[in-house]
Amino acid sequence: MSTTNGGEEEDADSLTLSASTFAALNEFYQEQEERDRQREEILLAKDEDTSAAATIDYFSEDWQLSQFWYDDATAEVLARECLRAAGGEGGRVACVSCPTLFLALRKLCPQLGERARLFEFDKRFAKLGGQFVFYDYKSPLDIPRFVYMLVSYLLF
C-alpha cells in the first residue's frame, strides 16, 4: 500500500522497528519463554520442595478470566485461614478462581497434595494434573456435586 507524504511515496509494508526496539522486543519474548519454562517445570514437579516453590510470579494475570489475584501477604493470610477452617493439614480445600491463594496453600502446606484443588478457567493451570478442575466462571453454579463431598472448605 502506498501513500503520498509531501510528494514522496511511502510503502506501509516497509515499516521496520529500530534496532533498540527490536532488541527490547526480543528480550521480552526471551523472558516470557523463560517464565513459561519455569512455570511448567514447577507445576509438573512431584517433590514437595519444588512444588512449594510455585509462586504467582510465574504467571501473568489475565483480566479476561475473572481471576482473583492476591499479593503474597494477603494470599498467605487467606491460606492460613483456609487451613484452619478446613481442620488443619488433614483438611480438604477447594479454591475457585483464585490461583494465587491456591499456590500460597501449596507453599504453606505442600503435603496437602491432592487434598487441595484449584477450580479454574485458565487452562495454563491444567498442568497441576489432579489438583486442577476446569471451572467455567460464566456458569458459576455448575460445580460438580462430588466437590461438596470432597472438600472441607470451599473458597470463592
Between the CA of residue 22 and those of 26, 81, 91, 133, 136, what are the distances in Å? 6, 47, 51, 39, 38
- Ordered by start, the domain boundaries in the chain are 13-155
Can you give the pLDDT at residue 5? 53
- Is residue 48 pLDDT above 70, yes or no? no
Distance CA 36, CA 47 (A): 19
pTM of the predicted model as reported, rounded to 2 decimal places: 0.62
pLDDT tens figures, 83-119: 898 887 778 888 888 888 998 888 888 888 888 889 8
Name the nearest CA neighbour of 121 among 148, 140, 103: 140
Q: pLDDT tens digits for 59-93? A: 666 666 656 678 889 989 999 999 898 887 778 88
